[in-house]
Amino acid sequence: MTLPSRRFDLNEPEFILDPYPLLAELREQTPIFYEEQWQKVFFTRYEDIAALLKDRRLGRQITHIMSPQALGWPPPDPERAPFDRFQSTHMLDREPPDHTRLKSLVSKAFSPQRVENLRRRIEQHVDRLLDKVEAAGRMDLHDDLAEPLPVAVIAELLGVPEPERHRLRPWSADIVKVYEFGATREQVRRASQAVIEFSDYLRQLARERREQPQDDLISALVTVEEQGQKLTEDEMIANCILLLNAGHEATVNGLTGGMLTLFRHPAQKEQLVNEARNASGSGLFKTAVEELLRFDTPLPLFTRWVLEEVDYKGYPLKRGTEVALLYAAGNRDPYRFERPDELDLTRKDNPHFTFGMGNHYCLGAPLARLELQIAFETLLRRFPNIQLATDKFEYTGFVLRGLKSLPVTLA
């Protein structure tokens, strides 16, 4: 069968503001389609996205089996080279056996126990940030809590000294802009410069940790070894940058988007306020975080390359084809989720795509979940009467969809 073709401008401001009506239409009328502008095949239904995420004939990397010339790419852009080297070195864009080796090594250092040990420090960071704004009676949830919290936590996890942590967020912000479709040449230049500066900084820090190890992730990554395998310095640096970018974006967008969802659903917000006030230990914040991440997906789209020809439901997907998996559409699919457009903070059956699925499931998901649970609970316990202070909302983009600001009053 021939793939249906459809125009889909995911950079349209009105779509970014509320993508769900159009995603529902696509899911129902054209669940699989080719978009000529982006030269990608889009998938919108849960079962298709899940199947393709688990299909080893698709992967995040393509140039290990096809040359840029065969793919029809333009000549390499020298200004993009540092960003491309970073992309090709971290584990997210590597395929087995390299991906398996990298993920195994990083997982040994980024252990569940190391994450759980951060619980008390995350609580302290949240309280410290809220202490700063309490007297004013107002705050921007994005600037004053959502953005600085994961940077502080990741910086502490990595072992970045406190006086130097302010440098991390600008680097991360410049790097992730390139993931949006249609990134400009200036954004590419800034991303490459950020990769160079961030890499140089981590390289020096790694050398210091080799001489004087500390109880931090960089020290662990410098020394981690499994079956005679170690991370190269470039691999260590690229995966540290990846941890900051991926962990940071999910938490920032999940917290601001989640709070906006709660403001729009006051009865459910009151449920959480009562839970925070009573400290009943029912686990409501755990299921609430999962539901908020499903309901308004902070990472709405993920791409994969077809590594060998696939016949999918009668549609030929040729080697070298790029597919775009619309997580945000799959997370609202009525064939997988009961009443998907309703917010149910107690939802138990909730295998959403926000952290991926299969081989490339997000390594930092436990940390993001912990940060979000603590942030929501502390915020609603300390400020049960928190209210929106605006009805104007602007988002960063669609691929990494997050609010630019979220002003609130606290009492």
pLDDT tens digit sequence for 228-253: 678 888 888 888 888 877 767 889 99
For residue 141, pLDDT beyond 80: yes
E strand map for 220-371: 225-226, 229-230, 301-306, 310-312, 315-317, 322-326
| Averaged pLDDT, 134-155 | 94
Residue 346: the pLDDT is 96
| Averaged pLDDT, 133-162 | 93
| Averaged pLDDT, 104-112 | 75
Residue 162: the pLDDT is 87
For 10-25, letters b (16+ CB in 10 Å) and e give beeeebbeebbebbbe
Q: pLDDT band for position 221 (50/70/90)?
A: confident
- Across the chain, mean pLDDT equals 90
- Segments in 112-176 forming alpha helices (H): 112-116, 119-134, 141, 148-158, 168-176
3-class state of residue 398 by DSSP: coil
Distance of alpha carbon 262 from alpha carbon 157, whole angstroms: 30
Higher pLDDT, 301 or 109: 301
For residue 220, pLDDT beyond 70: yes
Nearest to 371 by CA among 218, 255, 280, 244: 255
Distance of alpha carbon 145 from alpha carbon 130, whole angstroms: 7
CATH fold for domain 13-409: Cytochrome p450 (1.10.630)
| Averaged pLDDT, 364-388 | 94
For residue 55, pLDDT beyond 70: yes
Amino acid at 197: E
